[in-house]
Amino acid sequence: MSRKRAYRCLNCLEHTVSREFDTSHLSVTCPNCGSFERFVNDAVFQQFRAFEESPPAEIDWARLDRTEKLVVSERLVRSTKTLADFDVVKEEATAGEATAGD
């Protein structure tokens, strides 16, 4: 017997669907919000939400956009990667912008 996995709508964050396969995400129309949206594996979403509530000290979580945060969460949950495998590169200061030490 196959284990069902939950996938959560990334638009409304309320509706979930269950499937008997394990993938990082799927795209379907959400019956709750009506959007054709990506549904993310709920284990990935739970990791994402945990980091949103308590950002990891190892990387600059606040600097990442939502998609990047979901990719990091997905790699941590669905592979052997750890936070040490991610490197958030600081942006270069643009012309006329002050940098630390100036």
> pLDDT in tens for each of the 102 residues of the chain?
568 999 999 999 899 999 998 888 899 999 999 999 899 999 999 999 999 999 998 888 999 999 999 999 999 998 898 888 887 665 554 444 443 443
Give the pLDDT confidence score for residue 90 in this predicted structure: 58
Strands across the sheet containing 16-19: 16-19, 5-9, 36-41, 25-29
CB 10 within 8 A of CB 24: no
